[in-house]
Amino acid sequence: FLQIMEMETSNGSIPAEEAHTSLIHGLPDDLALLCLARVPRTYHHVLKCVSKRWKALLCSDVWYSCRQNLQLAESWVYAFCRDSCDCLCIYVLDPSRRCWKHIKDPPIPCMKRYGMAYAVLERKLYLLGGCGESEDASDDAYCYDALTDTWEKVASLLVP
């Protein structure tokens, strides 16, 4: 965990003085991590606002691994639908609060496509292929990271 914080400090995203302070005053970082890992996923967006160091932690693989090891990783259900403009909308069901939440819109090329495949692997949602009214099948692939709430284009699909 400390290695992640050192990397964040070296690339400038966390000020050096903040990187050398403890996550929770008076607790070693390993214990602080165990405490913070028990906060339900619904509140993670609030934790990310506390400091750059907390945000770096919550966006790290260490955070995800810790929650998995403690059997605290929560399963969410994703739902894909179309709005009145026929654009793709994606919602996630938070089972602990029993409510649907809209996630960040996918990249524009995906918004009007039909027939896309999707897959969820650990904390990432993948949108694959599809086609539009005026376009042939696409080999595009996009990945949504639930920890960072970001979309990115990933390697294109192999087409025979």
One pLDDT digit (tens) per residue for the chain, 160 residues: 555 455 444 555 555 555 568 899 999 999 999 999 999 887 888 999 999 999 999 888 898 889 889 988 777 789 999 988 888 999 998 777 788 989 999 988 888 888 999 999 888 999 999 988 787 888 999 999 988 889 999 999 987 6
Q: How far apart are CA 125 and CA 145, in angstroms?
A: 7
Residue 149: per-residue pLDDT: 86
Query: In the chain, how many domains are there?
Result: 2
What pLDDT is stored for residue 11 in this prediction?
A: 52
Residue type, 40: P
pTM assigned to the model:
0.69
Angle between helical axes of 61-69 and 29-36 (0-180°, round to 10): 70
CB 70 within 8 A of CB 62: no
CA distance 59 to 82: 29
pLDDT score, position 19: 56
User: Do 82 and 147 share a structural domain?
Assistant: yes
User: Can you tell me the distance from the alpha carbon of 119 to that of 130, in angstroms, rounded to the nearest whole number?
Assistant: 14
**Structural domain contains residue 159:** no
- Asked if residue 160 belongs to a domain, the reply is no
Burial class (CB in 10 A: 0-12, 13-18, 19+), 148: middle
Please identify which residue in the block is written with the tokens 């965990």: 1
pLDDT attached to residue 118: 93
Residues 84 and 127 in one domain: yes
Looking at the domain assignment, is residue 90 inside a domain?
A: yes
> Which residue, of 30, 52, 69, is where some domain finishes?
69
Amino acid at 81: C
17 is in which domain, residue-wise? 2-69
d(CA 14, CA 10): 8
Among the candidates 45, 69, 93, a domain finishes at: 69
